[in-house]
Chain A
């Protein structure tokens, strides 16, 4: 695993702000995540009504990926976070809490898997590629270079969209970036620790 790959573009979302390659492209001011996501969707002209059906984790991942992907490219998706789909799991748990009157919501249940956000991105950009969702206690700065490098060097993908997408209550954070043969910074642990 000596071959070096590079970070091409990156997008960060936190505290009501979206930054692309370090530059602000949208900020919403004080708001809940859902309010922020709706304003961002409108401001970024995403024109994709399915967005409103997504859970918060999928909205976060979708917004962060929206400026980074080329449709129908051979781009694998490797995402991770700390809380898996726990934010939506708790929402679903509410719909079955009352043992005498429980009404499980299919539209919520379907999002109780963290990889659904990758499915949403794959559908939008028609990516017939590999998706995998990992869960770690902290941002895995050694994992992403090792695993994304493997996918490219073994020919499973030409480029990889890596993402840390954490969502629990009103605590959210996305750091999503694309890795390929060219870019502005080596895809290694040191650079990621500097950027995150």
Chain B
């Protein structure tokens, strides 16, 4: 699980062009949106594509993303349970 969380952090940094942020800067339970990492609506859409591309998870309703993308913790739990690749 820790390996998956590290992988998710690295993917978020690369996919969302988070300059000057390292995986060590993101705590597992930091909020990704709002006051935490400050991601916005386009980032959320990019994360939906990342779930599909890297883990074979298709979200049927983008609103599901709100709970899944709360933190690295919640993302890792969802991916571990639903991944198809």
Contacts and interface: CB of A to CB of B under 8 A. Distances in A.
A and B, direct touch (CB closer than 8 Å): yes
Contacts, number: 29
Interface string A151-179: 00000000000000000000000000000
Question: Chain A interface residue count: which class?
Answer: 10 to 19
Interface in A66-117: 101, 103-107, 110
Given A103-B52, A103-B53, A49 B19 contact: yes
Contact of A105 (B18, B20, B38, B49): B49
A52 interface: yes
B28 interface: no
B16 A107 contact: yes
Chief secondary structure at chain B's binding surface: helix
Question: Chain B interface residue count: which class?
Answer: 10 to 19
Interface in B37-85: 38, 42-43, 45-46, 49, 52-53
Interface string A104-144: 11110010000000000000000000000000000000000
Contacts of B43: 107
A52 B49 contact: no
A101 B54 CA distance: 11
Nearest to A108: B46
A106 B19 contact: no
Given A52-B18, A52-B19, A105 B46 contact: yes
B17 interface: yes
Contact of A53 (B17, B20, B53): B17
Given A52-B17, A52-B18, A52-B19, A104 B42 contact: no
10 contacts: A49-B20, A52-B18, A53-B16, A103-B49, A103-B52, A104-B49, A106-B42, A106-B49, A107-B42, A107-B45
Interface of A: 38, 49, 52-53, 101, 103-107, 110
Nearest 3 pairs between A and B by C-beta?
A106-B45, A52-B19, A103-B53
